[in-house]
């Protein structure tokens, strides 16, 4: 058994608790950072869809993207990007509400309600849908892996 003086014992306990506290803070900060990065990625996607920004859409979307519309139409990455850029799927405004983000390792599940004004193929319209987004961290960046919309 170690012969430790009460002063040394108290110092060791303080150091141990300080270490545990710092470790907890770092872990919490990292989790918040991922959640903040996912939220920023969702906002980048929203803006790129309104702007029809091909470069941003291609950067955000994973090569394996499965993009499901509330109508049942499913698009891969190239069809998704092409339809936004060409105006076939033209979002004039997109408002997101009731958003949640759940992190599971390098995957993030995002749910929200989407209300939008559209101008698909020159035809004004409105969308009021629920959306599930699946994001995956790839090479340090959050990429949109899947999206499924559903009618409310």
The pLDDT tens digits of the residues spanning 106-152 come to 999 999 999 999 999 999 999 999 999 999 999 999 999 999 999 99
pTM of the model: 0.79
Which CATH number describes the domain made up of 6-151?
A: 3.10.450.50
| pLDDT over 80 at 8, yes or no | no
For residues 119 and 125, the answer to whether their CB atoms sit within 8 Å is: yes
Closest CA to 83 of 59, 61, 54: 54
Sorted by where each begins, the domain ranges of the chain are 6-151
Between 16 and 105, name the one with better pLDDT.
105
For residues 46 and 94, the answer to whether their CB atoms sit within 8 Å is: yes
pLDDT at residue 10 in the model: 72
Closest CA to 88 of 64, 113, 71, 65: 71
pLDDT at residue 15 in the model: 73
**Residue found under tokens 């499924």:** 148
């Amino acid at each position: 058994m170690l012969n430790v003086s009460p002063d040394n014992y108290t110092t060791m306990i303080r150091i141990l608790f300080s270490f545990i506290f710092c470790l907890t803070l770092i872990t919490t900060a990292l989790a918040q950072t991922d959640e903040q990065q996912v939220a920023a990625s969702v906002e980048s996607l929203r803006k790129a869809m309104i702007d029809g920004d091909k470069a941003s859409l291609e950067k955000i979307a994973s090569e394996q993207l499965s993009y499901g519309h509330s109508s049942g139409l499913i698009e891969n990455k190239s069809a998704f990007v092409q339809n936004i850029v060409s105006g076939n799927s033209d979002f004039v405004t997109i408002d997101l509400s009731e958003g949640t983000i759940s992190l599971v390792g390098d995957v993030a599940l995002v749910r929200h309600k989407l209300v939008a004004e559209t101008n698909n193929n020159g035809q004004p319209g409105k969308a009021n849908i629920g959306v599930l987004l699946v994001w995956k961290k790839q090479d340090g960046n959050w990429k949109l892996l899947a999206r499924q919309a559903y009618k409310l």
